[in-house]
């Protein structure tokens, strides 16, 4: 490992120290809302081996996100976000009834 910051040509590159669950930063440098703990509804069934889609309340409206789960989840099921995988992709689990 290099002793100092990585470089691309003459431009130093800072390594990120992001961890799962950290709040994302939007393009303007402000903190984006954390989706962890948000309850939503499945709009496209989530299979065990691929993504589905969930509708989550965001900024006073609702937005669709790609959704992954450790188990299949049927359309119209209520889910809770347990991790934000990317800006438009979440890991969900069914909500207890």
State yes or no: pLDDT of 49 exceeds 70.
Answer: yes
Cβ atoms 73, 42 nearer than 8 A = yes
How is domain 35-97 classified at the CATH fold level? OB fold (Dihydrolipoamide Acetyltransferase, E2P) (2.40.50)
**Which one is predicted more confidently, 18 or 43?**
43
Query: What is the end-to-end Cα distance of the chain in Å, rounded?
Result: 50
Cβ atoms 72, 45 nearer than 8 A = yes
96: pLDDT confidence band, cut at 50, 70 and 90? confident
83: pLDDT confidence band, cut at 50, 70 and 90? very high
Cα gap 55→51, rounded to integer Å: 13
């Amino acid at each position: 490992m290099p002793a100092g910051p990585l470089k691309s040509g003459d431009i130093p590159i800072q390594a990120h120290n992001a961890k799962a669950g950290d709040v994302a930063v939007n393009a303007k440098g402000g903190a984006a809302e954390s989706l962890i703990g948000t309850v939503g509804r499945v709009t496209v069934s989530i299979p065990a081996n691929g993504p589905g889609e969930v509708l989550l309340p965001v900024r006073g409206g609702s937005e669709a996100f790609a959704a992954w789960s450790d188990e299949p989840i049927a359309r119209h099921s209520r889910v809770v976000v347990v991790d934000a995988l990317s800006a438009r992709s979440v890991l969900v689990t069914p909500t207890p009834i």
